Chain A
Amino acid sequence: MTSGPGRPRRLRLRLPRGSSRADGRPRSRAFGLRTRLVFAFLLVAAVSAGATSALTYRDARNALLKTAQDTAVSSFRDQVQQTGWGLPIQREGMEEVLRDIARKGKPRPWVVFAEYGSVRASSGENPVSTVITPELRRAAHAHPNGSFERVVRDGVPYLTIAMPTLFRTGPEGRLPSGLVLYAVMRMTDEQLNVDALLLAARDGALPGLAVALIPGLLAARSVLRPVRELRKAAQSMGSGRLDTRIAVRGSDELADLARTFNETAGKLEGSVRELREAEARARRFASDVSHELRTPLAGMLAVTEVLDEDAGRLDSDTARAVRLVSTETGKLAVLVEDLMEISRFDARAAELNSDEVDLAETIGKTLQHRHWTDGRVRTELPSGIRARLDPRRFDIVIANLVGNALRHGDAPVTVSLRSETRSSGPPVLIVQVTDSGPGIRPEVLPHIFDRFYKADAARTRSAGSGLGLAITQENVRLHGGTVRAGNLPAGGAVFTVEIPLHVEEADG
């Protein structure tokens, strides 16, 4: 019955449940690593696609406008050079000439305005343009050069060209004639083209962005896979498999992390193994000690029995001493038995020998064997409740609880039995042992099932071994149940044992 030292045991590491895998991790977090990686990738793609598109658009737009402007300016100059004027220029007939120039406008017809001295004329309806700016006029008068200016009026872009004119006076001489011709052209077509360019730039950038999503997802995956493996490994370690290791791939930061994880796991495994061995040694020692004590104790018990029988013939002092030795030896024997029992629990060597029993009958037998039938113990035992459990262990549970109640509480002690159906899980069997004493002090309650816990510090020697409730708890646990201690509102301690009913199970 010694605990097997090399037997594989489940690691007794209690982890908070929340940190374990059970908290249902969402598939994709709002700002998880994947989202952030993909977002970063998309941002880079967007910036590069946007920058490329914007630069391309700007260049294309400028080229487009430059072509239109250059064409307009040079063809306007050509058209003007083909005209002839008498000086001073007469208002009459001027409009025909201007209309003629306007008709030949490239890339589109212009409206042509002429200014000479105080003469104003145009090919359109108004002799003076509202679009031509004073700056352009000033430039045309100050420098005898062609010049143009783009003007936006009411959202419509116009190209305005100023063309001062010279005439030939001699073989080389040129004189400004004082006539300045202006051409005004709406740039609506150019605007349409520029808008189309903008649209094309945008339509090019957006699919580019969509395409960038694919490498983004792939990159995120390549980063996330090692992270996922790490998480799985950490979970696996958390659930007790300390030999979990991760395959280290490559030499990046994640590989470093995996290596560190493996080293940590190795150290942890070593520490836990040492701890377990130390624990096992301690348990084995307790178990060995109890074993070694049992044989001499058996001899001592036999001797004290003989001494007890002969005590009557001894003088009173010696008889009292002999009876004391006998009582203490009996207690020592109980203690050793309890120690051995608890060692078996610690070593996980305790086994259930289940049998289907009638509970009322079993409890009755327990009370009868302990001679607790003299009215100190009352019972509320409905017949017909059957359960599959270990009769010997159940007997220990009931006996310990009732004995404890009789020792520390006051009679009468009530043992009640009932079965209850729970909304979740199997129906449970509930045994309550209630005494009529003062109850358990609140500060004692949390420790009531601890080994050798003295409820009363002053009373160093109790009648029991100090292991009774601990053994009770272990026995109940072995059945998959729980035991609770509490107080009744009217006073008096109450111990409640709940054990799931396994009547239908063929094998415990």
Chain B
Amino acid sequence: MRRARSARRTGVVAVVSAVVLLGGCGIRETDVIEAGGPATVQTFVDHDYDMLLFFHSSDGGITPVIRSVNGGVEYGPEGGPIAGFDPVTVDTVPVPTEKVILALLHGPDEQDRAAGLGTSLPPAPSGRTVRVEAAAAGDGVEADVPVAVEGLDRTALRQLICTIAYSHDADGRATVGLTGADGASASGTCGLDPTVRR
């Protein structure tokens, strides 16, 4: 009896250890394994002549698109120059942030929409001016935007902040302070750059 039981136990141990040792033959599935950093692709963005506008994609994140300045005049709702856009400054380098904000508020164009991008910002009411000035201290930037800041959702705020930050500074690290048409204010940094530790 005892011998039989111990023999059975030995057999079980042998089988289990064989299974453990072999660890399954062939190629088995794995979990998702991180392997190195992302790829950096070429995008031909020229900070002097191109604008980076941030729209939100279908998955909820915000994605930059490149808009050339010389094409900017065509983006009026009725085909005309949009409000606050001064054709005199077309050749100003880099592109003034005021112009970039207005382009953002104007919303995505056909190509952007084709790629599934959209905006959370309300359209800009005409006649309102945009004023941007560098903050008194540090590398911040203050902007008066022609929309009500109160009532903007997180995505909309991030769109504004990132657009202004990357217009103000090619690396997009400025702290942006927003004052809306309703007098409400908000501030923040873009924080989309994965190479910067937040």
Contacts and interface: CB of A to CB of B under 8 A. Distances in A.
- Of the four ranges (under 10, 10 to 19, 20 to 34, 35 or more), the interface on chain A belongs to 35 or more
Nearest to B52: A169
Contacts of A502: none
Interface string B18-30: 1001110111111
Given A54-B21, A170-B47, A80 B41 contact: yes
Chain A facing B: main interface SS: mixed
A69 B57 contact: no
A84 interface: yes
Contacts of B117: 88, 117
Interface stretch (A160-168, A340-348, A485-493): A160-168
Contacts of B169: 170
- Of the four ranges (under 10, 10 to 19, 20 to 34, 35 or more), the interface on chain B belongs to 35 or more
Given A135-B32, A149-B32, A195-B26, A91 B41 contact: no
B29 A150 contact: yes
Contacts, number: 204
Contacts of A91: 114-115
A177 interface: yes
Nearest to A72: B35
A325 interface: no
Interface in A117-152: 117-119, 133, 135-136, 139, 141, 143-152
Contacts of B86: none
Interface string A58-89: 10010001000110011001001101111111
Contacts of B47: 169-170
A279 interface: no
A45 interface: no
Nearest to B30: A150
Interface string A276-318: 0000000000000000000000000000000000000000000
B45 A85 contact: no
Contact of A178 (B21, B29, B63): B63
A83 B43 CA distance: 9
A181 interface: yes
Interface stretch (B131-139, B148-156, B170-178): B170-178
Nearest to B55: A88
A147 B30 CA distance: 12
A86 to B, nearest CB: 7
A194 interface: yes
Contacts of B30: 149-150
A73 B33 CA distance: 11
A57 B26 CA distance: 10
A446 interface: no
B27 A145 contact: no
B43 A177 contact: yes
Most buried by B among A90, A152, A173, A191: A173
B123 interface: no
A396 B133 CA distance: 154
Given A91-B114, A169-B171, A169-B172, A55 B21 contact: yes
A47 interface: yes
A172 B27 contact: no
B78 interface: no
A88 B21 contact: no
B111 A168 contact: no
B58 interface: yes
A83 B42 contact: yes
B31 A135 contact: yes
Nearest to A160: B32
A268 interface: no
Contacts of B194: 144, 166, 174, 176
B39 A146 contact: yes
A152 B28 contact: yes
A87 to B, nearest CB: 5
B112 interface: yes
Contacts of A51: 17, 21
Interface in B38-69: 38-45, 47, 52, 57-59, 61, 63-66
A173 B22 contact: no
A179 interface: yes
6 contacts: A58-B21, A148-B35, A168-B45, A169-B45, A170-B47, A178-B57
Interface of A: 47, 50-51, 54-55, 57-58, 61, 65, 69-70, 73-74, 77, 80-81, 83-91, 116-119, 133, 135-136, 139, 141, 143-152, 157, 161-179, 181, 187, 190-191, 194-195, 198
| 7 closest cross-chain pairs (CB), A and B | A118-B116, A170-B170, A173-B171, A84-B42, A178-B63, A117-B116, A54-B21
